[in-house]
Chain A
Amino acid sequence: MSRKLLLKNDHVPGIATLKTYKENGGYTTMEKALKTMSPDALLEEVKTSGLRGRGGAGFPTGMKWSFLAKPEGVPRYLVVNADESEPGTFKDRYLMERIPHLLIEGMVISSFTLGANSAYIYIRGEYFYVSRILEQAIDEAYAAGLLGKNILGTGYDLDIYVQVGAGAYICGEETALLESLEGKRGNPRIKPPFPAIAGLYGCPTVVNNVETIAALVPIIELGGAEYAKIGIGRSTGTKLISASGHINKPGVYEIELGLPVEEFIYSEEYCGGIKGGRKMKAVVAGGSSVPILPTELILKTAAGEPRLMSYESLGEGGFVSGTMLGSGGFIVMDEDTSIVKNLYTFSRFYHHESCGQCSPCREGTGWMEKILHKILEGKGTLKDIDLLWDIQSKIEGKTICPLGEAAAWPVAAAIRHFRPEFEAYVTNPESIKDVKHYYRLNPTV
């Protein structure tokens, strides 16, 4: 049994209520932080803990916080990114709907550390019911004096607001999120300036993922040094993984970073092996935008080392033979899955979600979807595969925000690792009928 920090009480009935949460030791860490520690000491703990952003990029949280500008007389903001829209990722939803107070406690500690008196939770529109759960929890916390003016008599004020988005993937990009939060069209901003200098309403802002902020509670509870002992190398602590696909036990699992991928997929404690005893074909390890890897490369690195669930190990080999931990959206595909159809689904998604601001992504995502559609219809040519490769290379790295890369990487990886399958679709269109899990092609493209 590996150690659980975030989800240790998720099975307790009624943990969403303040009463039960407090009975299980809730809000004691916050009290300790506010009453006995200074913001600087808290920041040091976060730095020592080695916590890295859990939203996908894995940027060290302590370092991000130390970049926050602190001009006199200008408010600072904490914004929690709960716009969890990456296909295959659903860990934040689980955390928020089960233990909303953990997020609130983490937000109070984080805001106190950053010197923010207002904090926002930007939650995606599809999670409307979760926003109700959060609002209820926030109301409870206000009533108990855990939020609002003079929290626990410490003189520290904090207001938390929940803002529901309208369901755009792009609003999970931090600057698009801020635009949307300000009431504007959710278009990513051109950086620099980064939000740490000019974020929400032009003020210094820290934007962090739900899980990152929730992780503040165990970090302060255990101390940064103790937290850093969990995990492996520079991947410290625990991580929530949303496991889905053709596995026996899909769901949200908390793992200690450094767990072997093979154990995660096949052990009874986690995914429980592949459904129906079939063979595994491929895994998308960190949400739809990270490169897909075939079985032999996800279980072992190109050098033959066992692959571990950590930022470094999954990234080993770059994009030639590696992938990314990303947001922890772990999608497992069995031997009957068509990689081409899967890629088409992903590409359709990115085409639909491109904001249309910069040319390569706006035009390229639609083009890639159309070519994949053509290949799936059995009308593709071998040239189309090369063209797809070329288009993705023209998008990658040329866009304002990472959506361009998110759309390009899956295409590149699928062609890199599964080219014969694409070629089979082109040279032998009849093979389409043999593949199960058939999606209806979108007639509108």
Chain B
Amino acid sequence: MVKLTIDDIPVEVPKGTTILQAARLIGGDVTPPAMCYYSKLKTSGGYCRTCIVKVEQGSEKDPRPIPKPVASCRTEVAEGMVVRNITSPENLEARAGVVELLLVNHPLDCPVCDQAGECHLQDLAYENGKEETRFEFERREFDPIDIGDKIKLHMNRCIMCFRCVKVADQITDGRCHGVINRGDAAEISTYIEKAIDNDFSGNVIDVCPVGALTDRTFRFKSRVWYTKPVDAHRDCDKCCGKVRLWNQGEEVLRVTARKDQWGEVMDNEDGSTAWICNECRFDKKHINDWTVEGPSEINRHSVISANHYDTLRNIKLDTLRMLGGKPHGEKVDLGIGALDPNNQHKQ
């Protein structure tokens, strides 16, 4: 086990853990945001630079600081390491710079983007960005592309996290999905517009942190915060069949994989990742196709819970902390079921 401190909070993790994973164990504000890192995908991370942290002391043996900010998602911990994230104003300033640069070519078309409300870039910009942009030129533009009949690619919104490329590489067989061109002209491509024809290709939608890859069967149907997420399952011979349904009344508008508090697809009991197949995702759009387990737990910060679980919105967060007795900085499990009068059956 390796001992280190992140923002003066001591944490002990197995050797080989990255700083970001260690920070996630602490949780709360100490955890750097991650736009490209995805713990379920090998070799992901290191590209977006939003998770940068300052390493004030490299290790006990070699106490020198690391001169440049490091990508916490790809840097392994060392014994006696001293990491600063939110306690370093310099680091926060650097991160704000990265966020500003990420938004330079982003169209900011949230009002018409299906991802709005569950977009990691929105959260990132809200938490770490500046109020206004200093970029005054025309933004880079691409035409939207259909990747097969179920997935839409809006390259304008892409932040080049490479997650979808890794999904194509590691989860689907027969990769035909990659990056072409260079620099700010680089784009996600299916190589000569070849449609992804694969049972697991829909997972690129789930890993996309922004609205670059969206579900065409859900396109413009509803804002996500007007839909109500429930966990459900079915017997599927291709995948685990454990999904999240996004309903409006009795109607299933969208099916996604279940995601954890970091926005990543959850694990099955056996430790494998609960990716879902395209049949579950795109074709099973009737409530009778599914066995509903109950309402999904949604992070209290999410606009989705803000709208749906109306009681929550009116509770001052500080009061909540006091009631729950949770220490400052820890993600508070709200026990949504208990607070929402509609969900009493869950208890």
Contacts and interface: CB of A to CB of B under 8 A. Distances in A.
Contact of A364 (B48, B101, B178): B101
Interface string B126-141: 0000000011010010
A357 B68 CA distance: 18
A10 to B, nearest CB: 36
B100 A394 contact: yes
A365 B183 contact: yes
A80 to B, nearest CB: 24
Contact residues of A: prevailing secondary structure? helix
Contacts of B74: 190
Contacts of B69: 397-398
Nearest to A365: B183
Contacts of A185: 178-179
A367 B105 CA distance: 9
A352 interface: yes
Contact of B186 (A352, A356, A365, A391): A356
Contacts of A61: none
Contacts of B102: 359, 363
B71 interface: yes
Contacts of B159: 359
A262 interface: no
Nearest to A187: B179
Contacts of B52: 398
B162 to A, nearest CB: 8
B interface, how many residues as a size bin?
35 or more
A397 B183 contact: no
Interface in B88-120: 94, 97-98, 100-102, 104-105
A190 B18 CA distance: 14
Contacts of B183: 351-356, 362, 365-366
Interface string A156-180: 0000000000001010000000000
B98 A398 contact: yes
Contact of A354 (B68, B135, B184): B184
Contacts of B100: 394
B47 interface: yes
Contacts of A190: 45-46, 71, 74
A400 interface: yes
Contacts of A358: 46-49
B61 interface: no
A362 B46 contact: no
A309 to B, nearest CB: 26
Contacts of A353: 182-183
A399 interface: yes
A387 interface: yes
B49 A356 contact: no
Nearest to A371: B137
Contacts of A394: 94, 97-98, 100-101
Nearest to A350: B183
A360 interface: yes
B4 interface: no
Nearest to B100: A394
Interface in B143-167: 159-160, 162
A370 interface: yes
A360 B183 CA distance: 11
A210 to B, nearest CB: 25
Contact of B160 (A357, A367, A387): A357
Contact of B184 (A351, A374, A398): A351
B315 interface: no
B134 to A, nearest CB: 6
Contacts of B181: 356
B184 A362 contact: yes
Contacts of B134: 387
B5 to A, nearest CB: 22
Given A387-B134, A398-B68, A356 B97 contact: no
A356 B186 CA distance: 6
Interface string A276-290: 000000000000000
Nearest to B134: A387
Nearest to B105: A363
B185 interface: yes
A400 B160 CA distance: 14
A398 B49 contact: yes
B48 to A, nearest CB: 5
Contact of B185 (A356, A374, A399): A356
A398 B47 contact: no
Give the 7 A-B CB pairs with smallest separation, nearest first. Answer: A394-B97, A356-B186, A354-B183, A397-B68, A190-B46, A363-B101, A363-B104
5 contacts: A355-B186, A363-B102, A364-B104, A394-B98, A394-B100
Interface of A: 168, 170, 185, 190, 351-360, 362-367, 370, 374, 387, 390-391, 393-395, 397-400
Interface of B: 45-50, 52, 67-69, 71, 74, 94, 97-98, 100-102, 104-105, 134-135, 137, 140, 159-160, 162, 178-179, 181-186
